């Protein structure tokens, strides 16, 4: 019989569940240890901005937030370094196409690329972009090279998902799940001033949106694998039987998304804590850009040190 610590680790890793969900860098690492694919969700705003950039054929290099090495990192890759929301606004972005500072393009002056999805929609597309972020990008970088294939040269496949590309991601995942791939969904969350994790409901909705898309593709989250729920399916003869079951956390994320859609997704995003924060400082357009369900048909896949369309 396994020890208490091992049993706890299995439970927290949602062992035996093919589709799992857990928060932030620590939770993501726990459920991705034996996974094949990790889907990172940071709706406000890293994966939303990533989705927009990748849809415009930009290779996106995630990078740590407020790291003084970012400029040198971008130069080494002949990439543009994205600026912060406030910096982009100070450079002259006034909220509409052709307004503000940035670079001359086609007779107009465009905003510089930034973490703001609305500002990125106004920016001139670039071939390569270094996109610092305090949450989503650091999780993506930490997960790369881990998972079931770690040490084999394959490693974990890391995908960026948002409300804007949730159907595209679900369609990409569906045949891989049918073939047996284990998937970890990682809502990034935000940070309190003391650095601790603040679970952010918009990321739960984003993950749930992908899961709802999977259900639309024919995946059955509630299929009974015939395993006694009191028995740990993470090892032994029950492991394969449990392969098709979504974890309770994953199923509840889907339910949360469906509830948000029922209430009005755009209104829900504007009313959540992160949305209200952005509106309060003048970035309502970012929330609206994030709420554009299925606006982009692209799957950002991390390869090496950058995301490109899968």
Q: Is 133 inside a domain boundary?
A: yes
Q: Is 12 inside a domain boundary?
A: no
Residue 286, Cβ neighbours under 10 Å: how many? 28
Q: Is 100 inside a domain boundary?
A: no
DSSP-assigned letters across all residues of the chain:
---HHHHHHHHHTTTT-SEEE--HHHHHHHHHTT-SEEEEE-TTTHHHHHHHHHHTT-EEEEEETT-TTHHHHHHHTT-EEPBPHHHHHHTT--SSTT-SSSEEETTEEEBPPBS-HHHHHHBPP-SEEEEEESSHHHHHHHHTT-STTTTTT---EEEEE-GGGHHHHHHHHHHHHHTT--EEEEE--EE-TTS-EE--HHHHHHHHHHHHHHHHTT--TT---S--TTS-TTSGGGTTTTTTPBPHHHHHHHHHHHHHHHH-HHHHHHHSHHHHHHHHTT-HHHHHHHT-TT-----EEEETTEEEE-
What are 170-213's pLDDT values in tens digits? 999 999 999 999 999 999 999 999 999 999 999 999 999 999 99
Q: Is 229 inside a domain boundary?
A: no
For residues 80-84, give the mean pLDDT.
92
For residues 276-286, give the mean pLDDT.
98
For residue 158, what are the domain limits?
23-92+110-221+242-305
Task: Confirm if 170 and 213 have CB atoms less than 8 A apart.
Answer: yes
Q: Is 215 inside a domain boundary?
A: yes
The pTM of the full predicted model, rounded to 2 decimals, is 0.88
Q: Is 135 inside a domain boundary?
A: yes
The CATH number linked to 208 is: 3.90.1560.10
Q: What pLDDT does residue 148 have? A: 64
Percent of the chain with pLDDT over 70: 83
By the 10 Å C-beta count (0-12 exposed, 13-18 middle, 19+ buried), 197 is classed as middle
Q: Is 42 inside a domain boundary?
A: yes
Query: Given the DSSP bridges, would you call strands 183-187 and 157-161 parallel, antiparallel or unpaired?
Result: unpaired
Residue 21: name the closest of 213, 183, 149 by CA: 183
Band of pLDDT at residue 149, cut at 50, 70 and 90: low
Of 42-51, 140-149, 175-184, 258-267, which gets the smallest average pLDDT?
140-149
Q: Is 249 inside a domain boundary?
A: yes
What are 132-145's pLDDT values in tens digits? 998 999 999 889 87
| Domains of the chain: total | 1
For residues 218-247, give the mean pLDDT.
56
């Amino acid at each position: 019989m396994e020890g208490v610590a091992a049993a706890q680790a299995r439970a927290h890793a949602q062992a035996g569940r093919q589709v799992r969900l857990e928060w932030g860098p620590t939770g993501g690492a726990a459920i991705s240890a034996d996974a094949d694919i990790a889907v990172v969700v940071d709706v406000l705003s890293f994966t939303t901005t990533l989705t927009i950039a990748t849809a415009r054929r930009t290779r996106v290099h995630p990078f740590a937030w407020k790291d003084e090495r970012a400029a040198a990192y971008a130069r080494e890759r002949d990439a543009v370094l994205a600026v912060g929301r406030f910096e982009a606004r100070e450079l002259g972005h006034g909220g509409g196409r052709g307004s503000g500072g940035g670079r001359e393009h086609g007779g107009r002056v465009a905003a510089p690329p930034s973490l703001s999805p609305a500002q990125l929609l106004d920016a001139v597309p670039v071939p390569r972009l270094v996109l610092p972020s305090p949450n989503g990008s650091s999780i993506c970088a930490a997960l790369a090279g881990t998972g079931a294939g770690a040490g084999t040269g394959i490693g974990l496949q890391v995908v960026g998902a948002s409300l804007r590309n949730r159907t595209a991601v679900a369609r990409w995942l569906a045949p891989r799940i049918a073939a047996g791939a284990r998937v970890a969904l990682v809502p990034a969350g935000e940070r309190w001033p003391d650095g601790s994790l603040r679970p952010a409901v918009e990321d739960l909705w984003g993950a749930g949106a992908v899961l709802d898309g999977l259900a639309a593709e024919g995946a059955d989250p509630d299929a009974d694998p015939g395993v006694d729920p009191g028995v740990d399916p993470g090892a032994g003869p029950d492991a394969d039987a449990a392969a098709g079951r979504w974890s309770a956390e994953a199923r509840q994320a889907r339910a949360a998304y469906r509830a948000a859609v029922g209430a009005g997704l755009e209104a829900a995003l504007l009313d959540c804590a992160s949305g209200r924060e952005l509106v309060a400082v003048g970035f309502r357009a970012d929330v609206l850009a994030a709420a554009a369900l299925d606006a982009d048909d692209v799957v950002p896949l991390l390869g090496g040190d950058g995301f490109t369309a899968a």
